[in-house]
Structure 1
Amino acid sequence: MSLLFEEIDSQASPLGEISLRRRRIPALGDRDIYEVKLGEEFLMSSMFVEAEEALSTLGLAQVQGDRLEVVVGGLGLGYTAVAALKDERISELLVVEALETVIGWHKGELVPLGKTLNADSRNRYVHGSFFDLATAPATGFDPDRAGKQFDAILLDIDHSPTEYLNASNASFYTTENLALMAQQLKPNGVFAMWSQNLPEEHFEALLKTVFETVESHVVSFYNPFQSEESTNSVYVCVKGEE
């Protein structure tokens, strides 16, 4: 094992080989950087988490009430889930993750935020496809309570509404399937989604076919590899009162 690099785990998955790595870059200071790769593609890095955290803070800022029940689609390195749990109004958080390996990294505390998530009794991991559960409102996200509705659904899985982690995810981004997911939101519930790209007008128009209000937020953060600001975006949508 190198002091500057370690592959913590690598396992086969339905999407290909997925690996968890830890590295240090001396020029960036005394800290461990965690990375997830799927095959040769980098999926996420603990260097760039501002937008993943903003997905929770921006989305939950639009949710009314207390004792909130929230779904996070995509566990990753845990930053969206941990940011959500900082909202004291949350009474239950379901984190839906298709890859059992990723859940195992958190349960086994191979990633730094696993300990935080495991220690919070409000948090529950759900092993399953977000997209399959989202489009089946009769059963829904909670395996213990069919048809349950939530105050917010926060999604961070695909790279963008037009660039998919898995080609089969493309079918989710339609009025019909977004509306099926929206059935799992309470009146005035919120759907928020992360994208690596700037807001896309055609996707905003699609969201408006389902949700009463749609807002797009650009999240900027410093990228030391490019020595400049980078941007992601977060879409925040509010369901009507019905």
Structure 2
Amino acid sequence: MSFLFEEIDSQDSPLGEISLRRRRIPAFGDRDIYEVKLGEEFLMSSMFVDAEEALSTLGLAQVQGENLSVVVGGLGLGYTAVAALKDERISEQLVVDALETVISWHQNELVPLGKELNADKRNRYVLGSFFDLAIDPSTGFDPEHAGKKFDAILLDIDHSPTEFLNPANADFYTTENLSRMAAQLKSKGVFAMWSQNPPEDNFIALLNTVFERVESHLVTFDNPFQGGKSTNSVYVCVKA
């Protein structure tokens, strides 16, 4: 039987104090709920993972071929990464996260999906800034293979294309820097991105300056805190 509330870990990070918590809410059933906070801001909860999983399923559905190499930007609680690995075509997955603390939660299996990610030999953690690696195609995402190209890049870091986890991330959302990231995709490769907000026309227009095809999807899920439904969105882009 779990405690109703427990702080599992709390560490300083370049973005501020980041903490991992576990709680139980009896009204929501017999289950542990895992949460991540950055300072006083809630970043994620294991109660709301539908859109994080849809980021993988919607993105990878547009990828052609076999023996896929995939980058996941942002580890979080691991739901996007685990959902991607359900695609048997994936032969290699790099999960890029700037926070060593978050990677260690999974490596030490302090979060439920850590064990699953650690056991899958296709999965590899990369400690580094997704945004720095994304705009340097000569080096790229794989520290073992400079300039490597990938079949898909799945991004879930910022709250939205206009609301940033770190103000410095804003520089990524330009034609120039999105093009540098797209240079790390193979022909017909896919870039997909999660957002907490409905699809934004200005961002879709920006994506269309870089990619051959752009789609947006509204993902609806139950929100018991609000007594109804909530939505997130997923952008899916295909390179020429």
Cα distance in 2 for residues equivalent to 1:194 and 1:141? 19
* Whole-Å separation in 1 of the counterparts to 2:78 and 2:3: 24
How far residue 18 of structure 1 moved from its aligned partner, in angstroms, is 0.2
Q: Which residue of 1 aligns with 2:213?
A: 213
CA distance in 1, matches of 2:140, 2:115: 27
Which residue number in structure 2 is paired with residue 58 of structure 1?
A: 58
2:229 corresponds in structure 1 to 229
CA deviations 1:136-190 (Å, max 9, x no partner) are 0000000000000000000000000000000000000000000000000000000
Letter in structure 2 aligned against 1:100: E
Which amino acid is the alignment partner of residue 11 of structure 1?
Q
- Partner in structure 2 of residue 137 of structure 1: 137
Equivalent residue of 1:87, what SS?
A: coil
Task: Quote how far apart the aligned CAs of 1:3 are.
Answer: 1.6
Shift of 1:50: 0.1
Q: Distance in 1 between matches of 2:166 and 2:228?
A: 30
Map residues 65-104 of structure 1 onto 2, 5 A cutoff.
65-104=65-104
Report what 1:193 is aligned to. Answer: 193
Q: Distance in 2 between matches of 1:106 and 1:29?
A: 25
Specify the alignment match of 1:116 in structure 2: 116
TM-score computed with the length of structure 2 as normaliser: 0.99
- Unaligned regions of 5+ residues in structure 2, if any? none
In structure 1, the partner of 2:156 is 156
Instruction: Find the counterpart in structure 1 of residue 169 from structure 2.
Output: 169
**CA RMSD between the two structures:** 0.5
> Which sections of structure 1, spanning at least 5 residues, go unmatched?
none
Identity of aligned residues (%): 82
Letter in 2 for 1:104: S
* Structure 1 runs (4+) greater than 2 angstroms displaced: none
Counterpart CA distance in 2 for 1:40 and 1:18 is: 9
Letter in 2 for 1:59: G
Shift of 1:115: 0.1
Corresponding letter in the other structure for 1:192: A
Instruction: Note the 1:23-42 alignment, pairs <5 A.
Output: 23-42=23-42
TM-score by length of 1: 0.98
* Counterpart AA for 2:43: L
The one-letter amino acid of 2:15's match is L
Aligned with 1:158: secondary structure?
coil
**1:29-60 superposed Cα distances (whole Å, 9 cap, x missing partner):** 00000000000000000000000000000000
Question: What is the CA-CA distance between 1:118 and the residue it aligns to?
Answer: 0.1
CA distance in structure 1 between the aligned counterparts of 2:173 and 2:197, rounded to whole angstroms:
16
Aligned length: 239
